[in-house]
Amino acid sequence: MMHPLNLSLRVSALLLSLGLASSCTRDQNDPGLEYAPEMYESIPYEPLRQTGYNTINAFGINQRTPATGTVPRGKLNYYTHIPKDSVKIAERVLRQPYAYSKDNLEEGKLLYSRYCQHCHGEAGDGQGAVGAKFKGVPNYSTGAYKTMNDGHIYHVIQWGKGRMMPHGSQVNPNERWKIAMYVRALQLGKGADGVADMIKAGPTTTASDTASTASNGLTPTSQAGANTASETPGQGNTKGHNGTAN
């Protein structure tokens, strides 16, 4: 009669040999048997990896709403924090950070064709496919619209105005400035042909541009006054400042 301890040792050895045999395969892509699979499959909830209903978190999702007042890393200057209805403040405070170069205007033209042309028209006359149907879309080269400065246009792109919905979530700050730059070219009433004239002459200085320049010493095309963030958020640098007050 075999001793129980001896039997258990033999059974253990048999099971171990079977496990090793099954984990050693000729297929290099086969991981074999996984020991402690929890080390491979994360137990905590992954916000961007969900296959079933979450019974713990609200709305059954893993992704939670960020705390009120928090700003995603790298998005400090994504919104100017100027109130939606304070376009006059935007006119005085926001300054165009880019030079009116051919490359910048051409990029602005491309972005305008994607996000604005369907309403405002190719020439900026309000006769786009949507604008022609619903009416009321302004002509950039008439009335007060032809004197809107970059800050005004940027603010309206970000927050919207009237029936125009906000586009702040669709175009980033750099793209907004370049669209505003191209709109300034359309204010000349020559459509896309106004780009060449804008490159030669530079943007027309409006009263709000003059008032803002006199108060803060900045010019519209060479420096960014507001809406400037540090290139290293949380650390600061010599080129920009976090938390610019608008």
Q: What per-residue confidence (pLDDT) applies to 50?
A: 80
Question: Strand, coil or helix: what is 46?
Answer: strand
Token pair for 140? 């950039």
DSSP state of 65: P
Token pair for 236? 């600061």
Alpha helices, DSSP H only, in the chain?
4-23, 87-93, 102-115, 117-120, 129-134, 150-159, 173-186, 194-201, 207-216
| Domains by residue range for the chain, with CATH | 87-216 (1.10.760.10)
Contact 145, 187 (CB under 8 A): yes
Contact 226, 246 (CB under 8 A): yes
Mean pLDDT by 10 residues, the chain (246 residues): 64 65 65 72 75 82 81 79 91 93 93 95 92 88 93 95 90 94 93 83 56 38 39 40 37
Q: What is the Cα–Cα distance from 165 to 101, expressed in whole angstroms?
A: 29
Q: What per-residue confidence (pLDDT) applies to 211?
A: 42
Q: What per-residue confidence (pLDDT) applies to 212?
A: 41
- Residue found by looking up tokens 């300034």 in the block: 184
pTM of the model: 0.60
Question: Strand, coil or helix: what is 164?
Answer: strand
Q: What are phi and psi of 46, to 5 degrees?
A: -95, 120
Question: Strand, coil or helix: what is 231?
Answer: coil
Contact 176, 157 (CB under 8 A): yes
| The residue count for the chain | 246
CA 204 to each of CA 53, 164, 198: distance values in angstroms, whole numbers, following the listed order: 57, 25, 9
CA 243 to each of CA 89, 168, 172, 213, 228: distance values in angstroms, whole numbers, following the listed order: 17, 19, 18, 21, 8
Question: Which residue(s) pair with 164 in the sheet?
Answer: 161
Q: What per-residue confidence (pLDDT) applies to 218?
A: 36
Nearest CA to 149 out of 191, 113, 190, 177 is that of: 177
Q: What per-residue confidence (pLDDT) applies to 32?
A: 72
